[in-house]
């Protein structure tokens, strides 16, 4: 894994956007795996800015999102469908027919998981997968204990995950209990992975990512087995990590 140290969240976001933009410039019909949440918001803002100011086109790009809540209408303000429209898709020239998210309202969720996996394969796999990391080490919504062999599947969200996401809802009780998520095996098949971490509250898990054994108890540790992972973390997120010789590149 290659670790890039950013001064703060803004610099982390600019560095992340630069890597994504380079991917799109090099391959105009790239398949991007996208994430949601607070960590990636400014990265999307940087992509929008480059689209508007530098005429970066996403017209041929295909996207697959990591996950979606089960039972939440795609029109709900806290669905990830709504998040992506609001924070990225409505502001760039991407074709909506080339954007894919799991359908958490599907009548047959198991079939939805199989279909989503098949669509990723049909598109040739993911060229660049953007990830955040949960405080319990989840990637996507793959909670601790999820098999490293997992494909797109339904997951019950841990209380810590629901609590972290409750800030977007009126109360903890409104947070859905389950989600459809890309599996760990699906994520690991991506050609390149870009993981972002920002803030003091991510310092402990980032330390574990590097120092702990590779274990399903900390799902993100599997990334150490991937040949092409870039982690961008700001100084607060790196505060518990001793400098790893040969892996930290200050920007």
225 is catalytic: no
Q: Which of 67, 68, 112, 127 is catalytic?
A: 67
18 is catalytic: no
Q: Which of 51, 81, 138, 153 is catalytic?
A: 138
Helix (H) or strand (E) holding 63: strand 62-65
Cβ(106)–Cβ(112) under 8 Å? yes
Q: What CA dihedral angle connects 179, 185, 187 and 190, to 10 degrees?
A: -150
Q: Kindly report the backbone phi and psi dihedral angles of residue 191, in degrees, each rounded to the nearest multiple of 5, phi listed first.
A: -70, -35
207 is catalytic: no
Which residue, among 113, 104, 38, has the nearest Cα to 73 in the 3D structure? 104
Rounded Cα distance, 120 and 221, in Å: 23
Q: Which of 5, 9, 50, 136 is catalytic?
A: 136
247 is catalytic: no
Q: Which of 5, 11, 112, 143 is catalytic?
A: 143
Question: Which residue numbers are catalytic?
Answer: 67, 136, 138, 143
């Amino acid at each position: 894994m290659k670790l890039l140290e950013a001064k703060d969240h803004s610099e982390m976001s600019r560095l992340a956007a630069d890597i994504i933009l380079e991917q799109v410039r090099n391959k105009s019909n790239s398949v991007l795996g996208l994430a949601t949440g607070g960590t990636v918001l400014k990265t999307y803002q940087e992509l929008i800015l480059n689209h508007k100011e530098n005429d970066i086109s996403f017209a041929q790009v295909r996207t697959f999102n990591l996950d979606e809540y089960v039972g939440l209408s795609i029109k709900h303000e806290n669905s990830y469908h709504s998040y992506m429209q609001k924070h990225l898709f409505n502001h760039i020239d991407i074709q909506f027919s080339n954007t894919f998210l799991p359908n958490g309202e599907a009548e047959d969720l198991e079939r939805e998981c199989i279909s989503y996996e098949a669509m990723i394969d049909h598109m040739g796999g993911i060229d660049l997968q953007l990830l955040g990391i949960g405080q319990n080490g989840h990637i996507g919504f793959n909670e601790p204990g999820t098999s490293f062999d997992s494909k797109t599947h339904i997951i019950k969200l841990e209380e810590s995950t629901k609590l972290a996401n409750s800030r977007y809802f009126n109360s903890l009780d409104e947070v859905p209990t389950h989600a459809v998520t890309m599996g760990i095996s699906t994520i690991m098949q991506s050609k390149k992975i870009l993981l972002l971490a920002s803030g003091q509250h991510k310092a402990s898990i980032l330390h574990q990512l590097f120092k702990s054994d590779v274990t399903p108890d900390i799902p993100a540790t599997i990334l150490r087995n991937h040949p092409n992972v870039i982690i961008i973390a700001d100084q607060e997120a790196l505060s518990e990590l001793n400098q790893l010789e040969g892996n930290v590149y200050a920007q």
